[in-house]
Amino acid sequence: MLSILSSEWFKLRKSGIIFIITAGPLVGLIIGLLPSFPNEIEINQWYMLVLGINLTYALLFLPLITGVLASVICRYEHQAGGWKQLLSLPVTRWRVFTAKYMVLIFLVLIMQLLYLSSIYGVGMIKGFTDPFPINIVWKSILGGWIATLPLVALQLGLSIFFKSFAAPFAVNVVFTLPTILVVNSEHFGPYYPWAQPFSMMNIGGGTDNVFFVPWDQLLIVVGGSFIIFFFGSLQYFYRKPI
């Protein structure tokens, strides 16, 4: 397992992945620095900032960019018979899939941490004096990461299925765009997997739980969609004729 992981990592090093995972935090930084967040209400300055950037970052960027990462990680295999070569090595498909998945979620985690640092950076540049709400921000960062776990599993499956970059991206867009409407709905918002990154990063949610969404929602929606997407994709990968 370790050897597949390190090989995946090795293949990624020259694929421009750095550019992709720094793009999000950069967007956060730029949007955060735009002088458009009025701070009229008496509230911790950090809250306003995080609320503002999260709106774009978690709603659209995060679910879309994870799909791009999934395509990048399958790029070598789709070129000139790479799947043949990889799977004729003494490895099981289960391990190949899991290794790719683990590298992906690790990359997303790094991206989340970079995003955290860009929030902090914006605050520093703007000279915030309020205390940094570390607990709340942590919840948001980790919560967002957990919420993408099922999406990443599906996106990995789609990227294995489609040869081109554009096709899985198109599918991804079709599911991500409705989120903009769905998050406004009390009925559908909690149950739509693509809305979960936003819900779990949205620091306005209930603060009693460990995360910003209730445990049952987390377990049922995120956990449930993870099981469906992960094993569904894996199942497909097992049957894929190479």
Partner 1 sequence: MIKNLLCADFLKIKRKGFWFLTFLGPFGVVALQMVNYGVRKDYLLQQSNDEWGYYILNVSTFTPLALVLGVVILTSFMTSVENETNAWKQLIAFPVTKISVYLSKLTVLALLLFISSFLLMLFTLGFGMILELQGQIPYGKLLKHSFYPYFAVTPVLALQLWIAIVSKNQGVPIAVGVLGVILTYSAYLLPDWMIWKWPSLINEWDEPLINVLLGVGVGSLLYIIGMFDFVRRDVK
Task: Report the residue from 4, 29, 31, 103 that binds partner 1 according to the rule CB under 8 A.
Answer: 31
Subset of residues 46 to 85 that bind partner 1, contact rule: CB under 8 A? 56-57, 59-61, 64-65, 68, 71-72, 75
Q: Does 18 bind partner 1 (CB under 8 A)?
A: no
Q: Does 36 bind partner 1 (CB under 8 A)?
A: yes
- Measured from the CB of residue 134, what is the shortest distance to partner 1 in angstroms? 26
Coil, strand, or helix at residue 183?
A: coil
Subset of residues 180 to 199 that bind partner 1, contact rule: CB under 8 A? 180-181, 185
Pick from 133, 107, 141: nearest CA to 212? 141
Q: Does 102 bind partner 1 (CB under 8 A)?
A: no
Task: Report the residue from 1, 43, 134, 173 that binds partner 1 according to the rule CB under 8 A.
Answer: 173
Q: How many residues does the chain have?
A: 242
CA atoms within 13 A on the CB side of 152: 27
Instruction: Give the whole-angstrom CA distance, residue 157 versus residue 241.
Output: 14
Pick from 54, 49, 33: nearest CA to 198? 54
Task: Report the residue from 7, 9, 20, 205 that binds partner 1 according to the rule CB under 8 A.
Answer: 20
Please list the alpha-helical segments (H only) found in the chain: 2-12, 17-33, 45-56, 62-73, 75-78, 82-87, 93-126, 134-161, 166-176, 179-182, 196-201, 215-217, 224-239
Q: Does 170 bind partner 1 (CB under 8 A)?
A: yes
Burial of 109 by CB count in 10 Å (0-12 exposed, 13-18 middle, 19+ buried)?
Answer: middle
Task: Report the residue from 19, 90, 129, 135 that binds partner 1 according to the rule CB under 8 A.
Answer: 19
Q: Does 163 bind partner 1 (CB under 8 A)?
A: yes
Between 184 and 235, CB nearer to partner 1: 184
- Measured from the CB of residue 89, what is the shortest distance to partner 1 in angstroms? 24
Binding mask of the shown chain, residues 212 to 231, with x at each position contacting partner 1 by CB under 8 A:
--------------------
CA distances to 7, 39, 120, 227, 231 from 11, rounded to whole Å, are 6, 46, 32, 28, 25
Where along the sequence are the contacts to partner 1 (CB under 8 A)?
Answer: 15-16, 19-20, 23, 27, 31, 34, 36, 56-57, 59-61, 64-65, 68, 71-72, 75, 163-167, 169-170, 173-174, 177-178, 180-181, 185
